[in-house]
Amino acid sequence: MNHATQSQSSDRLAIPAPAVAELLSISERHVWALNASGRLPRPFRLGRAVRWSVDELLAWQRAGCPLREHWERLLAREDER
């Protein structure tokens, strides 16, 4: 992904699966497969729309892309502080 594309995605607070795919340089189909297997941070719904937090995706990536279960435990520990 080029710098301009990353800037466009990170300017938004929440992004849909196609933008997640672009941000992570993977296919949209792979985004859905990773989500179904618990390997991406949990998305949230705005009505019928499924979105991911850009800030959370970037933090998850910096943490080494842990499994969702591990990622959520890490977030819970930070919240306890």
**What does the domain layout of the chain look like in residue ranges?**
3-80
* Per-residue model confidence as pLDDT tens digits over 48-75: 999 999 999 999 999 999 999 999 999 9
Amino acid identity, position 63: A
Output the pLDDT for position 9: 57
Q: What is the pLDDT of residues 40-49, one digit of tens each?
A: 999 999 999 9
Q: Which residue has the tokens 């196609």?
A: 18
What are the φ and ψ backbone dihedral angles of 42, each rounded to 5 degrees?
-65, 130
Q: What is the pLDDT of residue 11?
A: 79
6 band by pLDDT with thresholds 50, 70 and 90: low
